[in-house]
Amino acid sequence: MEAVAFFAGAIGALGGAIAVVGLRNPFYSVLALVVHLVSLAGLFLLLHAEFVAAAQVVVYAGAVMVLYVFVAAYVGGIQEPVWEPIPGQRLLAPLLGGALFIELSIAVLGSSLRALGDEGPTIPAGFGSPEQIGTVLLERFLIGFEAASMLLLLAAVGAVVLAGRKREGEEAASEEATS
Amino acid sequence: MAVEWYLVLSALLFAVGAGGVLIRRSPLVILLCLELMLNAGNLALVAFSRMLGNADGQVFALVVMVVAACEVVVGLGLIVAIYRRRLPLNVDELRGLRG
Amino acid sequence: MINSVLWTPLLFGILGLFVPRRWAGWVVVGGAAVTLGLAIGLLAGFDSGASGLQDTVDVDWISGLGVSYSLGLDGLNVFLMMLTALLWLPAVAFAAMRQPDRPHLYFLMLALGETATLGAFLAQDLLLFVLFFDLMLVPFYFLFGAWGQDRPDGTTAVAATMKMIVYTLIGSLLMLVAAIATAILAADGGQLSFSIVDLQQNVLSEGSQRWIFWFFAAAFLVKMPAFLLHGWMPDAYRAAPLPALAVFSAVLSKVGAYGFLRVVLPLFPDATIEFQEIVLVIALASILYGSVMAFTQTNVRLIAGYSSVAQLGFITAGIFALRPDGADGALLQMVNHGLVVAPVFLIIAVLAERAGTEDLREMGGIALRAPVLAAMFLIVTLATLAMPGSANFIGEFYILNGLFQAKIVFAFVAGAGMVLAAYYALRLYQRTMHNRKPEPIDSRDLGWRDAAVLVPLVGCIVALAFYPQLVLKRTDAAVGNQLRQAQRVDSNRPLTWQRGRESEAASISDSARPSGSGAAAS
Amino acid sequence: MNFNAPDIDYAALSPVIALTGGICVVLLAGVFDRVRRAVPLLTLLTLGAAAGLFIWQWGERKDLVAGALRLDELAVAVALIAILAAAFCVLISVREPAVSQAGSGEYHVLLLGSVLGMTLLAQAQNLVSFFIAIETLSVPLYVLCATNLRRAESLESGLKYLIIGSMGSATLLYGLAFIYGGSGSTDFTGIAAGIGKEGVLGDPLVLVGIALAATGLAFKISIAPFHQWTPDVYQGAPTPVTAFMAVATKAAAFAVFVRFFDVALAPEAGDWDVALAVLATASIAVGNIGALGQDSLKRLLGYSGIAQAGYMLGGLVVASEAGINALVFYLAVYSLMNLAAFAVIVARERETSFGDEIRAVEGLGSERPLLAWPLTISMLALAGLPGTAGFIGKLYLIEALVDGDYTWLGVAIAVGTMISLAYYLRVVAAIWMRPAEDTAVTAEVPAVAGASPEADPIDADAGGRWYLVGPALLAAAATVFFGVIPQPLVEWAEHAGAALSQFLP
Amino acid sequence: MSATTYAWLVLLFPLGGSIVIALGYRTWSGRTAGWIGTGAIALSFVNAIAAFVQLQGEPAKARHLTSTLWDYANAAGLDIKLGILVDPLSVFMILVVSGVSMLIHLYSVGYMGSDRGYTRFFSYLNFFVFSMLLLVLAGNFVLLIVGWAFVGFASYALISFWYRRATATGAGMKAFVINVVGDVGLVFAAILIFRELGTFDYLEVFDRAPGGFHTNEWTIVAICLLILVGAFAKSAQLPLHTWLPDAMEGPTPVSALIHAATMVTAGVYLIARTHPLFELAPTAADIAAFTGLATLLVAGSIALVVTDLKRIIAYSTMSQIGYMVVGVSIGAYSAGLFHLMTHAFFKALLFMAAGSVIAAMANRQDIDRMSGFGRAMTFTSVMLIIGSLALAGFPFTSGFFSKDAILSYASTRGGMYEIFTVLGYVGALMTAIYSFRIVFRVVAGEPCSEAEELAETGHVVHAEPENPATGDVEDTDVGFPGPEHHIAEQAPTMRMAMGALAVLALIGGVLQIPGVDDAITKFLEPTFEDSALAAIQPSVGDEWRDLTIGGAIAVVGIFMAYLLYVARPASTAVLVRRLRPLHTFLVNKWYFDELIDVAIVRPALAVGSFCNRVFERLVVQGLVAGTVDVVRGAGGVVRTAQSGFVRSYALLLIGGFTGLGLYFLLSSS
């Protein structure tokens, strides 16, 4: 049962990922990413990470993806030329991707850590529950938590700076550039 | 299922994401691919967390989600700024700086 | 006292920044004069019999790194200090009379150059030595680059200077690594010290000595410059402003040779003996190649430049004879060559002003109405070619003697250098001063101001010719000191003269043993 | 399940808190037109307060907030460097076009945010705070790089930095995940204990994790072959931001690099030291070679930064107290040297129509000696010539290297320095040995032929403004001062090394 | 005052004279400088006489006085003192040198009267005398080398005295460089002596030498050969002689003083001085003797054909020095030195007379253009004849006694040394012929136009000054042979000097007439007392036999010259035609210059040009350029990689990681 769930999730996550990379229209890529994220959330559930899975769906697939969709709609369809201007890139990119995968897999499979080979230890009830996560977060990772909030603030400020109100003179500059 | 499986899947996702950055030219899609890579990391973290029976990894994964969100926000902001500035939304054409 | 000698020039250089342009140069001249006075004071108080350091200053500078600010005088550097102080004065005065543009910077750099050079000679801490050794380049980079002349063929002064700096720093930086390695290996986990005297106590293993030796040698040989490493010299010499070039060629090149004596011989005796012949070959190649190049050049600066290559070859050969007579001669010759080359370049400046060219083929007949100039140049020329009767001859004689006793074949080859020297030096004199005067050349005698610069210098050459013992008396003890390590390693090398037959017998019995040096080292 | 609130040492956290408070204040101040002019001042005050509090905490060595952070001299030293760089950046940002583009409040908030990230990073002692801090450092920088929205280069540099930076973060994250998996802990000391165990030591999982983490960190400090963003981003970003980035990012990233590798990964030191040494050599080569023939000063400094990072990495490779001392010393010196140079570049950028091209400083020696000297000293110091702190820094590094049996890396530094002379001295030559370009004089006319239409307005007196000349002179004077009297700085750096000595292998 | 004090004074006056003249170069008007110079040398001569008197006052055994001023260079075991040795040999030399110098100075006061470099000339000339005296008085080898080099320099300075002539400066350079070769030889000799004996001091060296060396041991032979390099370079012996004929570019008094009377004989002095060493190395001594013999023959043969008046005399000088070298090498020390002295008299006289003639010819020196000066310049002609008679060894002139003393000694020593006697007579025949070739060409015959004008108007011809060697028109400013050199007839000082020398040349032989007296041998005895060879003395009968043969040969030679140049003037042309190859060979001076050119000068220049054009450019600069190119090329690679494509940066990042990861995987256990 668990295996089936895993493979379903894995296929969803992988398929989504490949679709993100492979689809020509960015809008579809965004949608594919949503599929990927949701599948991943399923895998998180299998790993007893309920809170993470929930956050994944709510925050990520929900909020963040909405941003993507907006922007994708705003900037419109972007045509990517088929012609590859960088010599060797087309050959090397998949090659390196493959090599990367092989290396990481060797690291995982070649590791002598016993725990890798089984499902993991029996875990107490409530592992991964919001309560436990909350406790760990506030007891041990308070700084991370606080910093993350500052980071969000800063990112918001950054987004405002970059995409926010139009400032005087900007139109003029952009007109100049187009003319 | 053994944790290995999750990790191998994570590695595959990481590689796919990396490959995507290498071959896609739309900054939007590149951002998506970066998401893929971070998510691969998250999967690994959660898998290890399961393996170790230790919730640290899950908390880490949550923090990574925040980070990913921040990167997305800033990245999208940049894309908008570039678009407003009437510059091509193709990373290959953004090569005024080189040499 | 020794501190004030070292820092006075720089102090005056900085003072010079705050006076009007016209006076900037003269302030630095004043500084050089004060320095010379102080240096003479030090020389007067120098105890010529002692072989150790005198007038020492030793304070912690960077205790964390084991570097101390340590200065001292001994027979090795007392005359090089004098030489520096002595030559800087006329060079600065010569420049001050000609009022270069941007005088503030110009004279600050000259002053900094003097301090750095004095520092290199006086430093008794290996790292301080390296520091000053590198620092010397900075002012000359500015002087050559900013006040140098571009060549019609498109080589700019800046490019030439750049080549010089990069080239000479190759060695210097390797030397920095080597110096650090020396101290660390010698400390062997204990208290780190760069003091040269301390380092002499713990000689490194032969393996370490080998590479460290070459790192140091690279720095010193490039600086001189020695054969094959002189690639920077032609361009830099052609670009440089002559007053700066005078001190550069006269004094800075000596730092390399001095470094061999001060650092390499006592600290790396095994490597020194091992590589003696290689260095000697380089030295001889420098003598021959420098001479041959000097007599085929037509640019007057290059003749002087290549002649320096040859002369420094002699000096190196003297040092690497690894005998007191050779080293004494080398030290004397350093002083002599400095005393000679500085006026040569100043005279070249004077000649170029009269001829409007620096090409030998377009010069001639300047002696016509310039008897004083001709006489000065003649004396300098004769000293350059080490005419017997000059102190230069005594220097070369000692060097040849040392070389002869150490490696007879090398001595004969070096002897050929003396003949070639006669040719190129005299050729320079003749082609500029004698023969017919091409029309545009202005044969004017020295003005009183130039004479005031040149005549005392030539006076020094003549005075030293009468009494070279002035130098030898003071160097002898220290030289013996520097060679002690090498002697210890190679015990069959006699310190002073022995009856030929006795030393022959000694060497036979030594070679009968399995390994003379190995036995001594254990 | 009962909740045990972690023990929070407010005194030790006070600098971080001050920074956070400052961010809020500045953000608010930026919103109101009345007080907007005071934003730079407020920023400086914030930085000053943080610096003061850090200095107050100097000498403390303790774990904070359940071991997430560690306050020690290394952290304080690096945080001070970052704050110093930020303060310089605030000064040289006055009248910077990018500030008005981004909005003064936002610009300075981002700056302070980045500083906050750096101070956290310097103290980070577990993987989560490490990762979040490095992102807090980076994300504002991505934005800052792009703040000159009118210039295509600025946006380009922002995007490039973001893409490569995120990729580096992802790699780092992946590595951290592996290390977490291998060691079972997120605390540095726990990791050290975990990977030091029999059976884990030398495990491929951990080693590949180290490789991934090394890649991510090496990217941050511009180590070849992960350096390629550096020249482009340095050149494209607004110059004050470049200055800040070049100095502070490097310092903070080095701090965590040291803490992570020399503490957490110390048991594996025998595996990573050679690899990092090779990377250091590669950086020295690539940085120095790439800088030759560059016409853009910022780009040149970018490449030079790659090379300098290579030198500094040596201090980490040897994993000794001396190495850390040397590294911290060099970081401080490196900051001074670069800040002086960037201040001058900013001045010339505003004063002439040549931007950051090397032409902009031609004839500077006779035109503006007060700018010429700092740049000259900076270049000579970067080249490691004696009389400047750069020489002492190299000496310190090489000494540590030789002491740690990495003499060949010391030789590589020497060789790299030789090559570097060619471009550093080229700048010096431009300053002193060339006449001023004619067009530099006609600075009043903004749109000279060939100038880009995006060219920022020209301020013909920029070279005389105190907030540009002052920092430049100050940094240059400090460079010379510590070149002549290095002992105080050496002692300062020695504290940093001593702070880690108990963890070192 | 002791002899050494006088000796120091002997040195002091010329040096002081030189400096005083030089410093006052603007002050001295007219002939003041000449008189100061002459006076200084005269004082020096007086002191030399005083030293001689003092030395004779000492007992014979104690006639080796040394005196040291100060330590010159004393370190590392090399003890070099500024010291002199006063013994009969050095006193003999200072007498000859200062005496002849004084007369030549006197001559120059007149002769150089209108030269614009007058002061400079006397300063140089005084300096030369100082140097020469230093050379002979030096008490150790180093000081000897100093003097040796100083005379070389003085010679250079005076040869290229008219420095605007390229030929003069070239000749000066040649002389100097060859002399430096000699110096280097001496330096090595000194160093080798020091290595073996541990001292540079003459007396100590001679003292230790017999104990230090076996006869003909390689070291002592090497030392002697090195000394010979010095001696031959200075004394113009084969193959280092080529500078001497060219040295005739100098003013004639210079040729008389330096290149005839004094400096060139320094080699002879040196061999005599170091005779204890040579006697330990008979092989070296024989080499010296045979070289001297070869030189005397070669030079004599060349002198028969060259047409430049001064060059004939120069070759004759070489030839005569050959005799002296033979003499001192085979052991005839006093005879050799006796010949040195008489040669100084008559050769100086000859040069002075030649100078007078040349002045009358407006500086032309080709004897083919001269004739018939007998009437126009009676005094000069008489002097020329006296000098030539002495040179030819005409009975009872000074040359007659001195030259034959050498040959007589050789025949007495016997064995292979007979060769020297026989070939020495052959040389004597040539000497007689060429010396009277001069006389007959210049004095006899129809007066040439210059002679005629002089005889009729009493004025010397004023021609457009030209370089006798190249025919170029001279630049008429300082440093060119002044247009009005004086002839003896019109200059009393010249006449005084020549007259004195003529007397000496005629009667100088009386000092040592076999069977009558042997003043020189007696006087020099203390110096050579330890010599085995000096003890060999030909019997009076043998000597007179040889003198008779020599006298006969001289008469025959003069007669042959008469036949060739006076009785049948056309016969020379016939001879030249008949013996064309021989004549060409001789006129080209046995092709020595060409040989040296091909063997040494050209290779050196070729090496120089190779170094300059190829080595410096390709290797030395190539080393730099190559490195720069490599670095630049690498820079190109780095900058190409920096393509601006962010994706390629990402690629490198991933690639870099892959490599790094691979390394870690490989290093994992």
Reported ipTM: 0.88
Q: What sections of D442-486 are H helices per DSSP?
A: 466-484
Q: Would you place residue D448 in the very low, low, confident or very high pLDDT band (cuts 50, 70, 90)?
A: very low
- The answer to whether the beta carbons of residues E254 and E187 sit under 8 Å apart is no
Of the candidates B20, B31, B27, the one whose C-alpha atom is nearest the C-alpha of residue B68 is B31
What does the block give as tokens for B5?
């499986």
Residues E174, C439: contact at Cβ < 8 Å? Answer: no
If one counts every other C-beta atom within 10 angstroms of the C-beta of residue D316, the result is: 26
Find the chain E residues whose C-beta atoms sit closer than 8 A to any C-beta of D.
631-632, 634-635, 638-639, 641-642, 644, 646, 648-650, 652-657, 659-661, 663-665, 667-669
Residues of D in contact with C142 (CB under 8 A): 428, 432
- What's the gap between Cα D437 and its chain centre? 32
Question: What is the percentage of chain E residues whose pLDDT exceeds 90?
Answer: 3
Size of interface B-D (CB pairs under 8 A): 131
Confidence at residue C518, expressed as pLDDT on a 0 to 100 scale: 38
So what's the pLDDT on residue D327?
Answer: 93
Looking at residue D171, what is its pLDDT? 94
Percentage of the residues of chain D whose pLDDT score is greater than 90? 59
Instruction: Say if CB E293 and CB E419 are below 8 A apart.
Output: yes
Using a threshold of 3 CB pairs under 8 A, tell whether chains B and E touch.
Answer: yes
Chain A residues with CB inside 8 Å of E643's CB? 86
Quote the CA–CA distance of C82 and D473 in Å, as a whole number: 37
Give every CB contact of residue D194 below 8 A, 6+ residues apart in sequence.
D182, D183, D184, D185, D200
Coil vs helix vs strand at E241? coil
Q: Could you report the per-residue pLDDT of E144-189, keeping only the tens digit for each? A: 999 998 988 888 988 888 888 788 888 888 888 888 888 899 999 9
Closest CA to B52 of C506, D200, C124: D200
Q: What pLDDT, on the 0 to 100 scale, is given for residue D56?
A: 92
Binding-site residues on chain A for chain E (CB distance < 8 A): 85-86, 89, 92-93, 96-97, 99-100, 103-104, 106-107, 110
Give B-chain residues touching A123 at CB under 8 angstroms.
50, 53
For the record, the structure tokens of E72 come out as 């010159």
Q: Answer yes or no: do E651 and A107 touch at CB < 8 A.
A: no
Q: Which of E642, E656, E664 sits opposite D226 (nearest CB)?
A: E656
Q: What are the tens digits of pLDDT across the range E294-334?
A: 998 888 888 888 888 888 888 888 888 888 888 888 888 88
Which of A57-61, C19-23, E248-252 reaches the highest mean pLDDT? C19-23
Exposure pattern of E606-633 as b/e (b: 16+ CB <10 Å)? eebeebbeebbeeebbeeeeebeeebee
Q: Which of B8, B67, B70 to mutate to test the interface with D (most CBs of D within 10 A)?
A: B67
Total number of residues shown for chain B: 99
Write out residues 7-26 of B within 8 Å (CB-CB) of D.
7, 14, 17-18, 21
Please identify among residues 32-91 of chain B the ones whose CB lies closer than 8 Å to any CB of chain E: 91
Contact state of E651 with B92 under an 8 Å Cβ cutoff:
no
- Interface check for C61 against chain D (CB to CB < 8 A): the answer is yes
What is the C-alpha separation between E646 and B30, in angstroms, rounded? 11
pLDDT score of E84 more than 70? yes
Q: Is the pLDDT of residue D377 over 60?
A: yes
Per-chain mean pLDDT for chain E: 84
Contact of B87 with chain D, judged by CB distance below 8 Å, is answered with yes
Is the pLDDT higher at E130 or at E612? E130
Share above pLDDT 70 across residues of chain C, in percent, rounded to a whole number: 93
Nearest-CA distance E600 → chain C (Å): 12
The yes-or-no verdict on residue D268 having pLDDT over 80 is yes
Q: Tokens in use for B95?
A: 């090569």
Residue A178 CB-density burial (10 A; 0-12 exposed, 13-18 middle, 19+ buried): exposed
Q: What angle do CA E351, E356, E361 make, to 5 degrees?
A: 120
Chain A residues inside the 8 Å CB shell of B36: 17, 20-21, 33, 36
How many helices and strands in chain A, by DSSP H and E?
8, 0
Chain C residue with minimum CA distance to E181: C419
Closest-CA residue of chain D to B82: D155
Report chain A residues whose CB lies below 8 A from the CB of B33.
20-21
Whole-angstrom CA distances from D495 to C191, D322, D329, E98 are: 19, 11, 11, 84
- Contacting subunits of E (3+ beta carbon pairs below 8 A): A, B, C, D
- What's the CA gap between E447 and D301, in Å, rounded? 92
Alpha helices in E331-417, H assignment, sequence order: 333-360, 373-376, 378-392, 398-413
pLDDT at E639: 87
Report yes or no: C323 and C329 within 8 Å, Cβ to Cβ: no
- Residue E541: per-residue pLDDT: 81
Residue-level pLDDT at C116: 93
CB pair distance less than 8 Å for E634 and D285:
yes
pLDDT winner (highest mean) among D360-374, D376-390, E112-126, E211-225: D376-390
Which residues of D touch chain C, with CB atoms under 8 Å apart? 325, 365-366, 380, 384-387, 391-392, 394-396, 398-399, 402-403, 407, 410-411, 413-415, 417-419, 421-422, 425-426, 428-429, 432-434, 486-487, 490-491, 494
Q: Which residues pair with E514 in a beta bridge?
A: none
The per-residue pLDDT for C170 is: 81
Nearest-angstrom CA–CA distance, C144 and C148: 5
Give the tokens for residue C360: 């030998």
In this complex, does chain B touch chain D, defined as having at least 3 beta-carbon pairs under 8 Å apart? Answer: yes
Average pLDDT for B47-57: 88
Whether the CB of A153 is below 8 Å from some CB of chain B: the reply is no
Chain D contact set for B64 (CB, 8 A) = 131, 173
Of B47, B59, B97, nearest to D156 by CB-CB distance is B97
Percentage above 70 pLDDT, chain D = 95
The secondary structure of D405-434, three-state, reads CCHHHHHHHHHHHHHHHHHHHHHHHHHHCC
Q: Do chains A and C touch (3 or more CB pairs under 8 A)?
A: no
Instruction: Give the pLDDT score at D437.
Output: 59
Assign E611 a pLDDT band (cuts: 50, 70, 90): confident
Residue numbers in E near B95 (CB within 8 A): 643-646
- Residues in Cβ contact with C207 at an 8 Å cutoff, skipping those fewer than 6 apart: none
Chain B residues in contact with E650 by the CB 8 A cut-off are 18, 21-22
Residues D59-107: tens digit of each pLDDT: 888 888 888 899 999 999 999 999 999 999 999 998 888 888 888 889 9
| Cα–Cα distance, A118 to B47 (Å, whole number) | 12
Give me the pLDDT at residue E470, please.
65
Partner-chain residue, chosen from B18, B25, B97, that has the shortest CB–CB distance to E644 = B97
CB contact under 8 A, D415 and C173: yes
Please give the average per-residue pLDDT across E534-550, as a whole number. Answer: 81
Residue type, E131: S
Report DSSP letters for D72-130, one per residue.
SHHHHHHHHHHHHHHHHHHHHHTT-HHHHHH-HHHHHHHHHHHHHHHHHHHHB-BHHHH
Q: pLDDT under 70 in chain A at which residues?
A: 77-78, 165-179
- Taking only the tens place, the pLDDT of each residue in E341-371 is 888 888 888 888 888 888 887 777 788 787 7
Mean pLDDT of C493-522: 41
Average pLDDT for chain D: 88
Smallest Cβ–Cβ distance between E654 and the set A85, A86, A100 belongs to A100
Q: How far apart are CA C395 and CA E36, in angstroms?
A: 35
Share of chain E above pLDDT 70, in %: 96
The answer to whether B62 contacts A55, with C-beta atoms less than 8 Å apart, is: yes
Q: How far is B81 from chain A (nearest CA, A)?
A: 5
List CB contacts (< 8 A) between E192 and chain C.
Answer: 404
DSSP assignment of D157-205 equals HHHHHHHHHHHHHHHHHHHHHHHHHHHS-SBHHHHHHHHTSTTTTT-HH
The pTM (predicted TM-score) of the whole model is: 0.90
